Structure 1
């Protein structure tokens, strides 16, 4: 089994955490944009190859890894809905990050203003949610942690206005699989 991705992607990090937790044998292959465009129809990371199985999205990869190891994946629809909400915010933030590198910002685009407003609205909703402060963590919580840590790492946002989220991330940073999959220092 081979997982392709980057050490900085929050989507890839979540898959790497699942691999640590499940103890499945898997080769991690660091991949750049050119290679992902060549090897995956989605032209993004992560993607996974396991024999004849080829998966091109972190959500399907996580489901595959959890079930392959004998575990389950989202038996609670409410937690899955929050996972999807976090994905929406993360997709918007990642797009804003890459578009800003090309000089496009919310100040110059109504569409990007809506994306930023979407992120802000989701943060307000997530701040109200009860979050655990010790393991075990479920995939919704791990996805949220990967997103928050990525945003801090890439200096996309601050959690100063979100003490609940900040405390959650602070305690999640003590969880060994989360700590061991942190991206390299910039």
Structure 2
């Protein structure tokens, strides 16, 4: 099994965590922006090759890996909704990050303003919830932790503005299996 991606990607990080937790043997192949544009029709990381199987999205990779290790594992609809909501915030934050690197900011685009509003609304909603401080963690919770950690690392959000989320992230950061995959370690 080969996982292609970058160490700083929160999507790739989630895949790496699940693979490690399930003790799956895999080869990590560092892949940059240019390589992913050439090797993946989605033109992003991660993507996975397992024999004849090729997957091009972190959600399908996580599902595939879980099904290979535990064929009966199922995700609740509530956790799937959390996963999707966090993915929306993560996608919006990554898009704004990349657009700003190209010099396009909210002053030039209502789209970017809308993305900032979307992320703020999702974080506000999620901050209203109680989060587990001990595992095991669901994929929705892992995606949230990967997003918060990446957004803090890239200075996209101030986690301290969200007390419940900050406490949750602090709990995950105390777990070696999570801390050892931090983007700053790449």
TM-score (norm 1): 0.96
How far residue 184 of structure 1 moved from its aligned partner, in angstroms, is 2.9
Q: What is the aligned partner in structure 2 of residue 59 from structure 1?
A: 59
Structure 1: 5+ residue stretches without partners: none
> Is the contact made by 2:153 and 2:184 (CA closer than 8 Å) also made in structure 1?
no
**5 Å matches for 1:91-102?**
91-102=91-102
Deviations, residues 25-48 of structure 1 (Å, cap 9, x unaligned): 100000011111111100100000
Distance 1:160 1:114 in 2: 22
Q: What is the aligned partner in structure 1 of residue 29 from structure 2?
A: 29
**5 Å matches for 1:81-92?**
81-92=81-92
Q: What is the aligned partner in structure 1 of residue 8 from structure 2?
A: 8
Q: What is the aligned partner in structure 2 of residue 170 from structure 1?
A: 170
Secondary structure at the aligned position of 2:29 is classed as: strand
1:113 aligns with 2:116: no
TM-score (norm 2): 0.96
Distance 1:19 1:85 in 2: 23
How far residue 137 of structure 1 moved from its aligned partner, in angstroms, is 0.8
Deviations, residues 4-58 of structure 1 (Å, cap 9, x unaligned): 0000000000000001100011000000111111111001000000000000000
Q: Which moved more, 1:18-27 or 1:101-110?
A: 101-110
Q: What is the aligned partner in structure 2 of residue 160 from structure 1?
A: 160
Deviations, residues 102-121 of structure 1 (Å, cap 9, x unaligned): 11112221111111100010
Distance 1:73 1:162 in 2: 31
Deviations, residues 119-174 of structure 1 (Å, cap 9, x unaligned): 01001111011210011111111000000000010011101220000000000111
> Is the contact made by 2:3 and 2:48 (CA closer than 8 Å) also made in structure 1?
yes
> Is the contact made by 1:135 and 1:175 (CA closer than 8 Å) also made in structure 2?
no
Q: Which moved more, 1:47-56 or 1:34-43?
A: 34-43
CA RMSD of aligned residues (A): 1.3
> Is the contact made by 2:99 and 2:105 (CA closer than 8 Å) also made in structure 1?
yes
Secondary structure at the aligned position of 1:83 is classed as: helix
